[in-house]
Chain A
């Protein structure tokens, strides 16, 4: 999309907007331009009364500036509007004008502004440059979670008809097929067969992927991007379940660990996935749900499922079977620590000796659930050598693709390259020649960005490979006399 020009002449980059047919399928009504500002204020009023986290983010900031140097988006672009405090200020100024005493009385003096189309256009630009990684929330002395502002901003924009094509298309696919990639059951089964053949070549025996198998104990929910981009992760998970002899299955009705609803529209899209999850659990007799590699997805399931399991599933007169939700890494580590998995790091198909793997901690895994040590426990046991990048764990920087701002149009793609700058510096300084990141969105950002930033191995020509964590685990598992089931 060409740059949007505001009324004062400044140019801003924005993601492509969804076409009319797509919006209709999402039941989003495009509000006419002249009504948008007033409508936005009404939505802001709704969300401030709905979410305490938003009200506190609006009223709690003292503008100390600690967050500025901690945001990869600001470090990469040097755009002052990408300072987390300033990004939140795009909303806070309007909030002050309409909902606070000081803003109504003193206006400009306290930085309050009227809601206009320009403000909304800026929101659409900058709230889709924030990757909701919550590093600013982690460093804020007051604990203001700026991610909540971005989320509310995006939801208001969504309701007004500012729907980005990427998120819109993915969300429409959630309603249609239960996953963002648009995979049908036939496509899923076909991919599985292909992967089974591949594993037979590698291992010498077949590992099947059960699909929609009734009376299964474990539902494995991979990210649908694994079918399109990260086949090794699927293979890794299959090998793990085969190794432990699990009665597991994959549901073609609910094939999405990732959750774009969390990032754009929690009221409808995210709720749809929660409904589909409990549907599958009831349908297949599941006793435990294990989620695959997806950072923001795990945050959505861990933190939001309970509240969003509401009237249609658990309201008065309804009931559902509540089963534990975990992610695959935690289960792997529990077994590893109990000494039940035999791994051979020296004989890893994906990481031959001489490979130095560096681990990129996905933001949502480490800042929504402290899995930094869990990842490391798996990685150090699966690959021959690890070289850490710094900072790590919950202090880690985002890859710049978080919250699925993986736009391909030239303007936003250029920004993506800039957002990756900090990560590229970190990887270079680590001296590694292989990248591991257990998150679908991180992988989707890394694949093109290692090329754009020319992150190469020692020979200076080969582009660094990128893999998930379960990929390495699967390849390092030592099977004896299988098959087990």
Chain B
């Protein structure tokens, strides 16, 4: 089992993830954008339209405007996800030295590792609490419960499991895994010379669940970061009004 999850499954996961995303996006491009069915605001140029799309993505503006309680769950959850995603890559690759490497005259190596640990813990907890709130919301609010399928709950539970284990490893010293062990293992995977999984059951579970998530990613609603781009590409487009002024009238503009 350790052999399969640690040395074989990661390659299958990445292949299916990338292949699946490509396939899904290819499906989206079969149909044409037949009509210019835009929705306000009507920007006058492409840069303005793109700016609006980016603003919607970074701020969750529509959620903020039309469903404030959801925004307080969803936005911190996604920010924490982005921070943790970035933290995993940078923290593991630089062994927690990312802030020192970025601002060497300001942050010492020791401070950088402490900051990395601190931010990881804080965002991990925000992530977990926000997910719990989203799960509660899906169960407790009638209008959201009636539109939910079983898979909607399972997605949340899977994420909760991943984050829960991650937080446990952060908070409980005996369960934790040091950066260099993780880096050693990941380096093996990236160089196609896989090393055995670190001897840590929690890491094994964490790693397994993440792979399950990545496996179902292209075949579920988790594809929504791509969906928002393709959707808004249809409805946020520039529009130029035809010139005003009627021909042949006595009173003209």
- B248 A218 Cβ-Cβ under 8 A: yes
**Do residues B251 and A60 form an inter-chain contact, with CB atoms below 8 A?**
no
Contact of A245 among B39, B62, B250 (CB under 8 A): B250
Which residue of B38, B60, B244 is within 8 Å of A326 (Cβ)? B244
Q: Does A143 contact B (CB under 8 A)?
A: yes
Name the residue of chain B whose CB is nearest to the CB of A484.
B250
Contact present for A334 and B253 (CB under 8 Å): yes
A-B contact pairs, 20 of them (CB 8 A): A49-B31, A52-B230, A55-B27, A59-B28, A60-B224, A60-B227, A66-B66, A83-B143, A102-B220, A110-B150, A143-B56, A143-B231, A218-B246, A244-B246, A244-B251, A288-B247, A330-B244, A368-B39, A370-B40, A370-B42
CB-CB under 8 A from B29, the residues of chain A are 52
Binary contact track B142-184/A, C-beta < 8 Å → 1, others 0: 0110111111101000000000000000000000000000000
The contact of A54 among B31, B221, B252, by CB within 8 Å, is B31
Given contacts A138-B40, A335-B253, 12 further A-B contacts (CB under 8 A): A49-B31, A55-B31, A60-B228, A63-B147, A63-B149, A68-B143, A306-B36, A326-B244, A335-B251, A366-B40, A368-B37, A370-B41
A367 at the interface (CB under 8 A from B): yes
Residues of B near A304 (CB, < 8 A) are: 35
8 Å CB contacts to B: which residues of A193-238? 217-218
Nearest neighbor of A326 in chain B, beta-carbon distance? B242
Chain A residues, Cβ within 8 Å of B251: 243-245, 335, 340-341
Query: Among residues 20 to 63 in chain B, which have CB atoms less than 8 Å away from a CB atom of chain A?
Result: 24, 27-42, 56, 60-63
Would B147 and A83 count as touching, CB distance under 8 A? Answer: yes
Whether A102 lies near B224 (C-beta < 8 A) is no
B70 close to chain A: CB less than 8 A: yes
Chain A residues with Cβ below 8 Å from B42 are 369-370
Our pick among A52, A89, A287, A326 for the contact of B32 (Cβ within 8 Å) is A52
Q: Which residue on A lies nearest to B37, using beta carbons?
A: A303
User: Across the interface, do A106 and B228 meet the contact criterion of CB distance under 8 Å?
Assistant: no
- Inter-chain contact A68/B231, CB cutoff 8 Å: no
Asked whether A62 is an interface residue with its Cβ less than 8 Å from the other chain, the reply is yes
Given contacts A62-B221, A138-B40, A287-B248, contact A50 B231 (CB under 8 A): no
- How far, in angstroms, from A89 to B227 measured CA to CA in the complex? 17
Establish whether residues A102 and B151, one from each chain, have CB atoms under 8 Å apart when the complex forms.
yes
How far apart sit A108 and B149, CA to CA, in the bound complex (Å)?
Answer: 8
- B141 located at the interface, meaning its Cβ lies under 8 Å from any Cβ of chain A in the complex: yes
Nearest first, the 8 closest Cβ-Cβ pairs linking A and B are: A245-B250, A111-B149, A217-B248, A60-B227, A334-B244, A52-B31, A65-B144, A68-B143
Q: Please tell me if the beta carbons of A217 and B151 are within 8 angstroms of each other in the complex.
A: no
Q: Among the interface residues B35, B150, B219, which one has the most CB atoms of the partner chain A within 10 A?
A: B35
Cα of A287 to Cα of B246 in the assembled complex, Å? 9
**B31 nearest CB neighbor, chain A only:** A52
Nearest-neighbour CB distance to chain B for A301, whole angstroms, equals: 11
Please, how many angstroms separate the alpha-carbon atoms of A46 and B252 in the complex?
49
B235 CB contacts on chain A under 8 angstroms:
53, 137, 143, 145
Q: Who on chain B is nearest to A299 by CB?
A: B37
Please tell me if B213 contacts chain A, counting CB pairs below 8 Å. Answer: no
Q: Give A260-277 as 1s and 0s: 1 = Cβ < 8 Å from B's Cβ atoms.
A: 000000000000000000
> Judging by beta carbons under 8 Å apart, are B244 and A141 in contact?
no
Of B67, B223, B245, B246, which is within 8 A of A66 by CB? Answer: B67
Q: Does A387 contact B (CB under 8 A)?
A: no
Q: Which of A59, A148, A368 is in CB contact (< 8 Å) with B227?
A: A59
Residue of A nearest to B228 (CB): A142
Q: Are B34 and A244 in contact (CB under 8 A)?
A: no
B34 touches A143 (CB 8 A): no
Interface string of A293-326 (1 = CB under 8 A from B): 0000000000110110000000000000000111
User: Judging by beta carbons under 8 Å apart, are B149 and A324 in contact?
Assistant: no
Known: A51-B31, A68-B143. A143 touches B221 (CB 8 A): no
In this assembly, does A376 line the interface, its C-beta being within 8 Å of a C-beta of chain B? Answer: no
A100 within 8 A of B: yes
Q: Contact between A143 and B37 (Cβ–Cβ < 8 Å)?
A: no
**Across-interface contacts of B37 in A (CB, < 8 A):** 53, 145, 148, 303, 368
Q: Which residues of A contact B66 (CB under 8 A)?
A: 66, 69-70, 139
Tell which of B32, B61, B245 touches A50, judged by Cβ atoms closer than 8 Å. Answer: B32
Known A60-B228, A65-B143, A142-B231: A338·B253 in contact at CB below 8 Å? yes
Q: Is the CB–CB distance between A59 and B223 below 8 Å? A: yes
CA–CA, A49 to B28, complex, Å? 9
CB-nearest residue of chain B relative to A306?
B36
**Please, how many angstroms separate the alpha-carbon atoms of A101 and B215 in the complex?**
12
User: What distance in Å separates the Cβ of B10 from its nearest Cβ neighbour in chain A?
Assistant: 21
Q: Is B249 in the interface zone, CB < 8 Å from A?
A: yes
The verdict on B186 contacting chain A, using a C-beta distance below 8 Å, is: no
Is the pair B244, A367 in contact by a Cβ cutoff of 8 Å? no
> Within 8 Å of chain B (Cβ to Cβ): is A290?
yes
Q: Are A106 and B151 in contact (CB under 8 A)?
A: yes
Decide: A244 and B249 in contact? CB cutoff 8 A.
Answer: yes
CA distance A341 to B42 in the complex (A): 28
Given A52-B28, A52-B32, A65-B67, also A85-B147 (CB < 8 A): yes
Q: How far is the CB of B2 from chain A (nearest CB, A)?
A: 27
Cross-interface CB contact of A64 among B33, B40, B63, cutoff 8 Å: B63
Are B31 and A101 in contact, CB atoms less than 8 angstroms apart?
no
Query: What's the Cα separation between A126 and B210 when bound, in Å?
Result: 39
Which residues of the partner chain A approach B33 to less than 8 Å between Cβ atoms?
52-53
A144 lies within 8 A of chain B by Cβ: yes
By beta carbon, the residue of chain B nearest A101 is B219
B241: chain A residues within 8 A (beta carbon): 330
Counting CB contacts under 8 A, is B131 at the interface?
Answer: no
Cβ of A41 < 8 Å from any Cβ of B?
no
- Residue of B whose beta carbon sits closest to that of A247: B248
List of A residues within 8 angstroms of B67 by Cβ: 64-66, 69
CB-CB contacts below 8 Å: A35-93 with B: 48-57, 59-66, 68-70, 74, 80, 83, 85-86, 89
B248-A246 in contact (CB<8A) = yes
